[in-house]
Chain A
Amino acid sequence: MGRYVIRRLLQMIPVFFGATLLIFLMVNVMGDPIAGLCGDRQCDPATAAQLEKEFGLDKPVWQQYLTYMGNVFTGDFGTAFNGQPVTELMASAFPVTIRLTIVAIFFEIVIGISLGVVTGLKRGRPVDTTVLLLTLVVLSVPTFVTGLLVQLLLGVKWGWIKPAVSPEATFSELIVPGLVLASVSLAYVTRLTRTSIAENKRADYVRTAVAKGLPRRRVISRHLLRNSLIPVVTFIGADVGALMGGAIVTERIFNIHGVGYQLYQGIVRQNTQTVVGFVTILVLVFLLANLLVDLLYAVLDPRIRYA
């Protein structure tokens, strides 16, 4: 196990460098960021040159990348164009998005798995068909449509929630946006759980457990569910990263000042430091989430061993 973890950690190094380098190059081919800073008028050349020097944009890209990476390891992610250190932006954006992600994952686990278990156990019954149909609807409607619809109905027409989240973005304010963000994944989790449960229901060990006279609750939770959760855990684990990075749409609709918003601003203003900084952290989140998923396998199914 220990060796496996170390090997996985070592594998993360090239992925980390590769991903950040790619982002660095992609942001750099989009044109000169200073040209966009002055609006529709031309920057005065002396000031532009001075700004380039300040942000290190006058050096070749590979040198910028090296300097950047060097700084990252000392915790310095550079400065955004508005004069704020990128770490400051992160400190304000990440907690918000993490809260949003927690809410979304919570809904995925609670609603998704419960619905999955119910439908899996009652396959073919009306409940199953209804939920399947509902998940199909959720899957086929894009998030921004769901989001805008929910916002319009709950926020404007009925006045049950505030359409825009305040800068503090407390957990309670994030319930509805979290549900919207989770909706698509939630449908996937339901369907995954359902199939997995339905399949394992007929497995020998379940039959044995029932034959032993174990209570139904114990059979389902200890025997059936535990084994059926492996594909679901894989999905949810990979989803953590996807939710954090992919919250751009939801965050825009509900005015949440999180990672998605900062990334969007960074891209529109072509702020290399912001974009690369946030992506660097997101890459790390992805990698760690994946590692965690792999380790969880061993917990869920002791037969899976890592040499």
Chain B
Amino acid sequence: MRGATHAKWAALATAVALAATACGGGDDSGGGGADGIVSSSWGDPQNPLEPANTNEVQGGKVLSMIFRGLKQYDPKTGEAKDMLAEKIETTDSINFTITVKDGWTFSNGEKVTAKSFVDAWNYGADLKNNQKNAYFFGQIEGYDKVHPEKGEPSATSMSGLKVTGPQTFTVKLTQKFSTWPITLGYAAFSPLPQAFFDDRQAWLSKPIGNGPYTVDSYSKGSQMALKRWDAYPGADKAQNGGITLKVYTDNNTAYTDLTAGNLDLVDDVPASQLKNVEADLGDRYINVPAGIIQTLSFPFYDPAWNKPGQEKLRQGLSMAIDRDQITETIFQKTRTPAVDWTSPVLGEDGGFKDVCGDFCKYDAAEAKKLVAEGGGIPGGTMKISYNADTGSHKEWVDAVCNSINRSLGNNKACVGNPIGTFADFRNQVTQSKMDGPFRAGWQMDYPLIQNFLQPLYYTNASSNDGKYSDPQFDKLVNQANAEADTAKAIGLFQQAEEVLRDDMGAIPLWYQNGSAGYSERVTNVSLNPFSVPVYDQIKVN
């Protein structure tokens, strides 16, 4: 009987809690159909929401909803299609004439003109505005005046940008870049309304764009409510009434909320739930490759790692890693073993090809042989550095090291080297302080093979953290950029990739997949190549 009394107490306590909570909720979106509101998980954006200042995926989500640029990447194929661009013409791959379509406005009624673009780009490039994506404008003539490497800027606008008519402007680049128009779908190239320049603070608290959604309310750090913009002139009108982005303290909680039926969409299924996700969601779980690749970079600035003949060592190490096993057991198949240095989202036409070949296949005997031929691991032990605070890198680094140790038959060949915080890790990487391989991740800015190669492996390129350098590689990249024929350009980039393979400038590990789960309330959910949900296509039942 005693047990019964306790159960009664517990029941009573929960009943009180329930009665009280019942009055709390009830703010959920009513109604379904075309006007239904979709609720989606969100993370707090790291930077103020400006097109040229947003370099992470959380802010990027919002920009993808409230902005449309000259080009738009197809959510399925990643192909860059004209959006606001009527036409982009060039004869020499240096001078471009851009015509902006007529009839587009911002959601506050302002017309989208050539000036909207030119002003926005000049703003984004200006050093004084601290925009983290400023380097996107680096190819435009006059960038070095508004964004000098040292000292104060001597101009506020780039000489390569000229407004030639209400809807036309010209761009002059500093060097040939035939595929440059394809980059224009990136959010940094979005147009900005005059309202932004008149009162930036007001704009930041409630951004105004020209996309299918408008910001209805934004309370920083907790949620943003976006409403469908009915006067949106584009073809990709929103199929739902709006999107409510809710900031979650932890993606596990978001997932729990989804399974409890309080949330419609989670676009980042936590690693700890991957085992249950099939059972919980069935076919409402999406797991598709995204434009993200993970590699191991080498410190080419360290003499111990930059000796002639060491390409065999690096190739051997690559063959010592059992990618299939690691992606299956540790990542539950949310990673795809890499076969080149780009990403499957580019497609065969875009330049994705098995360039790595046998060097990316696990072969312990061959690995051991190659490492020995390459002079062995410098110092006998190598450390793979990673940041231990986020992203659960420890598991896979340990697995990679185990795989290498097993292949080489040496328990001391490889150990993980955790670094406390991401900031400290990046600090050591950018200051070239690594004394062994380190993890590197690259998320594409635009679906272009150039974006996977040039920023990472071109001599002194912006994200060439390992300081890899090869004159042949640089030459091929330059040739590819100058080549007007896209197919030929891609062929040249693939040749450059072969140079990278023969040097093994970085070990490709795997492509990261985008993962998402959704509720029974919504249909037609998909992820684009950037692993961002295609919000405007979601339908509410």
Q: Do the beta carbons of B440 and A40 come within 8 Å of each other?
A: yes
Chain A CB within 10 Å — which of B22, B220, B249 has the most? B249
Is A212 in contact with chain B by the CB < 8 A criterion? no
Question: Is A173 close to B, CB under 8 A?
Answer: yes
* B221 sits at the interface (CB 8 A): yes
Q: Is the CB of A31 within 8 A of B424?
A: yes
- A83 to B423, Cβ gap below 8 A? no
Residues from chain B with Cβ under 8 Å of A92 in the complex? 220-222
Residue pair B462, A42 in contact (C-beta under 8 Å): yes
Q: Which of B13-21, B325-333, B355-363 participates in binding chain A?
A: B13-21
- For A84, list chain B residues within 8 Å (CB): 220-221
Q: Closest A-chain residue to B294, C-beta based?
A: A40
Quick check: is B174 within 8 A (CB to CB) of the other chain? no
Number of A-B residue pairs with CB-CB distance less than 8 Å in the complex they form: 194
Closest A residue by C-beta to B150: A46
Please classify how large the interface on chain B is, using the bins under 10, 10 to 19, 20 to 34, 35 or more: 35 or more
Cα-based distance from A240 to B307 in the complex (angstroms): 60
Inter-chain contacts of A71 with B (CB < 8 A):
none
Contact mask for chain A residues 61-82; partner B; CB cutoff 8 A; 1 contact, 0 none? 0000000000000000000011
Contacts of B262 in A (CB 8 A): 162-164
A31 contacts B423, CB within 8 Å? yes
> Is B259 located at the chain interface by the 8 A CB criterion?
yes
Cα–Cα distance between A252 and B2 once the two chains are bound (Å): 36
Q: What is the 8 Å Cβ interface bit string for chain B, positions 415-442, against chain A (1 contact, 0 not)?
A: 0000011111111111000000000111
B441 partner residues in chain A, CB cutoff 8 A = 40
Whether A39 pairs with B56 at a CB distance below 8 angstroms is yes
Kindly state the separation between the CA atoms of A252 and B427 in the bound complex, as whole angstroms: 28
Cα–Cα, bound, A148→B222 (Å) = 22
Given A42-B430, A82-B47, A269-B46; A126-B2 close (CB under 8 Å): yes
Cβ B254 vs Cβ A164 within 8 A: yes
Interface size on A, residues (CB 8 A): 64
8 Å CB contact of B204 from A40, A83, A262: A83
Residue of B nearest to A40 (CB): B441
CB distance from B429 to the nearest CB of A (A): 8
> Which A residues lie within 8 Å of B45 (CB)?
82
Q: Check if A257 sits within 8 Å of B132, measured CB to CB.
A: no
Q: Determine the chain A residues whose CB is within 8 A of the CB of B465 once the complex forms.
A: 42
B24 near A51 (CB under 8 angstroms)? no
Q: Which 8 A-B pairs have the closest CB atoms?
A: A31-B424, A36-B423, A167-B222, A35-B426, A31-B427, A172-B20, A83-B48, A270-B423
Q: Can you pick out 26 interface pairs between chain A and chain B where the beta carbons lie within 8 Å of each other?
A: A33-B423, A35-B426, A36-B425, A38-B55, A42-B429, A43-B430, A44-B135, A44-B147, A47-B134, A50-B130, A130-B6, A151-B256, A156-B260, A159-B261, A160-B14, A160-B21, A161-B17, A164-B253, A175-B17, A176-B17, A179-B17, A251-B249, A253-B250, A255-B248, A255-B253, A256-B249
Q: Which B residues contact A (CB, under 8 angstroms)?
A: 2, 6, 14, 16-18, 20-25, 27, 44-48, 55-56, 127-128, 130-132, 134-135, 147-150, 204, 219-223, 246-250, 252-254, 256-257, 259-263, 389-390, 420-430, 440-443, 455, 462-463, 465
